């Protein structure tokens, strides 16, 4: 099953042998007529093509006995090779392999044009959920996975994907790491995630990297490898279940505020860029609530310190991130002002 899928997605190697044989027959036939009959290159090539194609045209020039014998062998060898080549091409078209190959070329061009995107390493249970969430929030991304079946599944779902090892520099460069916004290491094992993060750090020291940890012991290892954030799905899931049991209303509110399908209320972070009209101003003087109809829940300072429920006199500095609640349109207006 896997081998068959591989052939459908990569028609180049499947056509390589028949095309090579056909080229060799035409080249050999042309050279043979030049040597045996002393014809010029064009007459020899034309005679070879008409012979191999069995179109039945007359001979270009009268043939000697040696030329006739050579033509007989060319017919037996060339016709079979031509039929083999054309049947291979037809088979690819019928099976859809060529269409999938063109689709891959289209995705490759899309990836080359991506900017400010995320690279999702791994398209397993976690990676597929991340991809769906990115798509729902209209965040550009590309998937890198070394499993052909997973890559094919991602492409069928409309996701740009690359079949490659995420720990190799060539794969991350192909995914556009120099233009990327961040990287999510969600491969199957902690060791693979460590190698992917180390490779990403070599290529981009300023890249925001999120790593997935299977065990608590791996959290520190992934952090040392260069991950800015390390998430343990099992720990997060357990904490979510505990919080749901203890504080269901609070959990419902957070899910409502962070849900990508909710347009009435969204919780988002907005960075204050240098040169923004908001930089250097206080929350109260900037009139964020009145101008943009948002509520500032917290401020994450450029040094990493977090201020929850900041005072109205709190000053917004360039490089700070505002954690705010508001509608989608209000947040877009705030993001424009923050730039």
Residues 196-253 pLDDT 10s:
999 999 999 999 999 999 888 889 999 999 999 999 888 888 888 998 898 888 888 7
Residues 301-312 pLDDT 10s:
888 888 888 988
Asked if residue 107 belongs to a domain, the reply is no
Asked if residue 202 belongs to a domain, the reply is yes
The pTM score is: 0.61
**Overall number of domains in the chain:** 3
pLDDT at 235: 84
20 lies in the same domain as 87: yes
Phi, psi at 213, each rounded to 5°: -115, 130
Q: Are 33 and 22 in contact (CB under 8 A)?
A: no
Task: Specify the CATH number for the domain of residue 75.
Answer: 1.10.287.70
Asked if residue 193 belongs to a domain, the reply is yes
Q: 163 or 88: whose pLDDT is higher? A: 163
Q: Which domain holds residue 209?
A: 114-236
Q: What is the DSSP string of 187-234?
A: -SSHHHHHHHHHHHHHH-TT-EEEEE-SSTHHHHHHHHHT-SEEE-HH
Dmax (CA) for the chain in angstroms is: 104
pLDDT at 5 over 50: no
Asked if residue 55 belongs to a domain, the reply is yes
281 lies in the same domain as 230: no
138 lies in the same domain as 222: yes
Cα–Cα dist 325/331, whole Å: 8
Spatial CB neighbours of 280, under 8 Å, sequence gap ≥ 6: 315, 316, 317, 318
Residues 142-157 pLDDT 10s:
999 999 999 989 988 9
Task: Specify the CATH number for the domain of residue 198.
Answer: 3.40.50.720
pLDDT at 128: 94
Residue listed under structure tokens 């959920």:
129
231 lies in the same domain as 120: yes
pLDDT at 175: 92
Asked if residue 228 belongs to a domain, the reply is yes
pLDDT at 339 over 80: yes
pLDDT at 259: 66
pLDDT at 201: 94
Confidence at 50, pLDDT banded by 50, 70, 90:
confident
pLDDT at 4 over 70: no
Q: Are 34 and 48 in contact (CB under 8 A)?
A: no
pLDDT at 170: 93
pLDDT at 200: 95
**What count of other Cβ atoms lies within 10 Å of the Cβ of residue 23?**
12
212 lies in the same domain as 288: no
pLDDT at 261: 60
HSE of 254, CA atoms in CB hemisphere, 13 A = 8
Asked if residue 138 belongs to a domain, the reply is yes
Phi, psi at 302, each rounded to 5°: -65, -25
Burial class (CB in 10 A: 0-12, 13-18, 19+), 266: buried
> SS3 for 256?
helix
pLDDT at 95 over 60: no
């Amino acid at each position: 099953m896997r081998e068959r899928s591989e052939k459908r997605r990569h028609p180049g190697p499947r056509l390589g042998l028949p095309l090579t044989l056909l080229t060799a027959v035409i080249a050999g036939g042309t050279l043979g007529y030049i040597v045996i009959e002393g014809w010029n290159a064009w007459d020899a090539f034309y005679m070879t093509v008409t012979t191999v194609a069995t179109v039945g045209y007359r001979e270009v020039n009268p043939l000697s006995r040696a030329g006739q014998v050579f033509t007989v062998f060319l017919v037996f060898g060339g016709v079979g090779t031509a039929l083999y080549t054309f049947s291979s091409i037809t088979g690819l078209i019928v099976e859809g392999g060529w269409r999938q190959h063109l689709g891959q070329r289209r995705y490759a061009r899309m990836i080359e044009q991506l900017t400010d995107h995320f690279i999702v390493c791994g398209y397993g249970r976690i990676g597929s959920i991340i991809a769906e969430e990115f798509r729902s929030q209209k965040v550009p991304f590309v998937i890198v996975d070394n499993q052909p079946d997973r890559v094919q599944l991602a492409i069928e779902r409309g996701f740009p994907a690359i079949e490659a090892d995420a720990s190799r520099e060539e794969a991350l460069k192909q995914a556009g790491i120099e233009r990327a916004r961040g990287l999510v290491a969600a491969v199957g094992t902690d060791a693979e995630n460590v190698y992917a993060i180390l490779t990403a750090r070599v290529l981009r020291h300023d890249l925001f990297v999120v790593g997935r940890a299977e065990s608590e012991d791996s959290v520190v290892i992934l952090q040392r490898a260069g991950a800015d954030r390390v998430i343990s799905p099992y720990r997060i899931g357990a904490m979510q279940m505990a919080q749901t049991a203890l504080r269901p209303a609070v959990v419902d509110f957070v899910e409502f505020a962070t849900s990508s399908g909710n347009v009435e209320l969204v919780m988002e972070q907005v960075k204050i860029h240098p040169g923004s009209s908001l930089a250097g101003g206080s929350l109260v003087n900037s009139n964020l609530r009145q101008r943009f109809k948002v509520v500032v829940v917290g401020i994450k300072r450029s040094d990493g310190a977090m201020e929850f429920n900041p005072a109205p006199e709190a000053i917004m500095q360039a490089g700070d991130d505002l954690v705010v609640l508001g509608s989608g349109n209000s947040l877009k207006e705030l993001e424009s002002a923050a730039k």
